[in-house]
Amino acid sequence: MKTLLLIDGNAIMHRAYHALPPFKAADGTPTNVVYGYLSMLNKVVTDFKPDYLISCFDTPKATFRNKLFKEYQSQRPKIDDDFIIQIPLVKQAVDAAGIERMEKDGFEADDLIGTITRIFETNKFRVVILTGDKDIFQLITDNVFVAAPQLGLANIKIFDRSEVEKKLDVSPNQIIEYKALVGDPSDNYPGASGIGPKTASKLIHQFGTVEQIYKDIDKVESEKVKEILKKEKDSVYLSKKLATIMTDVEIDLNIDKLKFKGFNKKLIEFLTQYQMNTLIKRIFSIKEVEKVQSKNNRPDQIGLF
């Protein structure tokens, strides 16, 4: 079974920014996000040896979720300038590495990831998604896994069906029902105010879906919970829409462009420009580096190793 590795670009950039100190290149350009992103990318490439690879990113434009709910993600703090400066640098690094990347106005990276995941899964691929975003757990199946960075950047935890069930007490395909009821503070949508994780889990185990809960509302044992559900019905259905990752976005996907046979040597030039010598040593062999430096007439850099 061949493997597709999907990178949740924005989630990994945020993880890198908060995990690493604010180091900079000689010209003052912040580089911790770029360094952290490429470090994690190199680790999962080494661990999973993917046959295909793509990185998906959000865009600054409003998405359909913002149109559904104006307050969606509105509570998030303003992104630091040192982070914003590095977003195009990460994309430059991805391009230099010869890795396909995708973004589409009106949709989150999650929706592109969901769509690409289902395309490859249907074609009998194993899919590994690198992300720190637990929303992606809803995409997990027998052949789809999430690789989630833990504290710092060095450790990666693999989530399959059983790990999700242990963590949330619901299966991956029930996560949207769970979030419809409990909401999501990080995305700023409410769910059913007054229903917590334990009650939500109990309802899902009993009824399966939000639709079935409302169909059989009289079978809900607790009168208090029943009243909350009736009162919060519109919010619950809205929250379910907001929580659901799309898997049918219209995208232009050339699968051959996703084939991965190692990092392109152009990445050496990019990393050299920003003095990321440690990453060069980690990703490339001495011969690869010397060949690039010889081609570019850069004998001064041969002492890198």
Domain spanning 172-243: CATH 1.10.150.20: yes
19, 105, 140, 178 alpha-carbon torsion, rounded to 10°: 90
156-186 per-position pLDDT tens digit: 999 999 999 998 899 999 999 999 999 998 8
CA distances 35 to 124, 155, 273, 278, Å, are 33, 16, 13, 10
6-65 per-position pLDDT tens digit: 999 999 999 999 999 999 999 999 999 999 999 999 999 999 999 999 999 999 999 999
- The answer to whether the beta carbons of residues 126 and 143 sit under 8 Å apart is yes
pTM of the predicted model as reported, rounded to 2 decimal places: 0.92
| pLDDT for the residue 243 | 95
Residue 294: band (very low, low, confident or very high) from pLDDT cuts 50, 70, 90: confident
| pLDDT for the residue 281 | 93
Three-state SS at 130: strand
Do 172-243 and 3-169+246-258 have the same topology in CATH? no
Domain spanning 3-169+246-258: CATH 3.30.70.270: no
Segments making up each domain of the chain, as ranges: 3-169+246-258, 172-243, 266-304
